[in-house]
Amino acid sequence: MTSVIPKKVDSEPQPTKNGFTPGEFHKVHVLRRVTIESVWGLLEHCPVLTLNKSEMLLEKGQTNQTMYIVLSGKLSVHLDTADREPVAFLDKGQTVGEISVIDDSPGTAFVRAAEKTRLLSIDEETFWRLVEASHEFATNLLLILAQRLRANNSKIVEGVQRRIRLEREASVDALTGLRNRRWLEVNLDRLAQRHRCGGTSFTVIMLDVDHFKRVNDTYGHAAGDRVLSTVSQTILNSLRPTDLASRYGGEEFVVILPGTALDDGMIVAQRLRQQVGGQEVDCRDGRVLPPVTISLGVAMLGDNESGKELLARADGALYRAKQNGRNRVERDGDD
């Protein structure tokens, strides 16, 4: 590329025929600390465009060899479609299109006028001549690109954190902090299949708070929520790190015991029953409720059995525990 030295200007330049003024020059971010005399001979020939509100400047996937400087007005940036809410705005003094000029890549977003906007249009050849003519211009350009890279990285991190938070919220019960029924339905078959393939036992406990409606009717729903929170915390404190617990719905819970046979599952269930039955409930309003009791049903995964079928057998054992007087443990297969 032939290097062109801009003509020397002895006094403050006059506005160009398209209306670009020295006053606007000094407000452009990429021209900060750039002496006007060093580049005015290049800029005075650049056209000034006017876009009406909503008029498109750049389209995603479109080839672009021009950097645009916003002289007045405002541009909006849209990612997926031009009709979506903008992800950013570009105000007076900011630039757009320089990345496509540098790496000869198509645009990655839609850019349109958010209001009536004037733009200085700098073509690819003039852009590189500006880089050659002014060290300050090149330095400003690098700083702008670095700032955009940091902003993009921050958005990526925020997006990952938001996705993790949403995934957690979608799989965790808000009241108890345990995994919810949706998580259980999505993951139980996978967990069961893993232990079936590994040749290890897999047992579940389904449990229910006895006379929970009576608790709500007597002490109120806020007290009922405290009962459920206390029961769930007692369950968590009683399990091994490899065990899992889920709120199945209402006052019903499911405990998953990987690598545990039925007899050992009965021992765990009895321990849970005793510990819940010995735990008072602090309502955090000065009231302390007497302990509640729970009924439990235990079942172990059978050959070629689905997670849904396993839960149904544990639920059947739980039903017998409640029918036989509550505050007890029953195992699948016992009549």
Residue 8: count other Cβ atoms within 10 Å of its Cβ.
Answer: 9
- Letter string b/e over residues 253-290, b meaning 16 or more CB atoms within 10 A of that residue's CB: bbbbbbebebeebbebbeebbebbeebebebeeeeebe
Q: Within 13 A of 248's CA, how many CA atoms are on the CB side?
A: 18
- CA dihedral sign, ordered 83, 87, 93, 98: negative
What's the DSSP call for residue 29?
Answer: G
Contact call for residues 137 and 30 (beta carbons, < 8 A): yes
Q: How far apart are CA 195 and CA 178, in angstroms?
A: 22
Q: How far apart are CA 265 and CA 206, in angstroms?
A: 11
Q: How far apart are CA 319 and CA 313, in angstroms?
A: 10
Catalytic residue positions?
Answer: 251
Q: Which two tokens mark 305?
A: 């059995």
User: Which residue do the tokens 């321990």 mark?
Assistant: 271
Q: How far apart are CA 55 and CA 21, in angstroms?
A: 24
Q: Where are the alpha helices (DSSP H) in the chain?
A: 22-25, 36-43, 98-103, 124-133, 135-171, 181-198, 212-219, 221-238, 262-277, 307-323
Q: How far apart are CA 312 and CA 292, in angstroms?
A: 25
What's the DSSP call for residue 211?
Answer: T
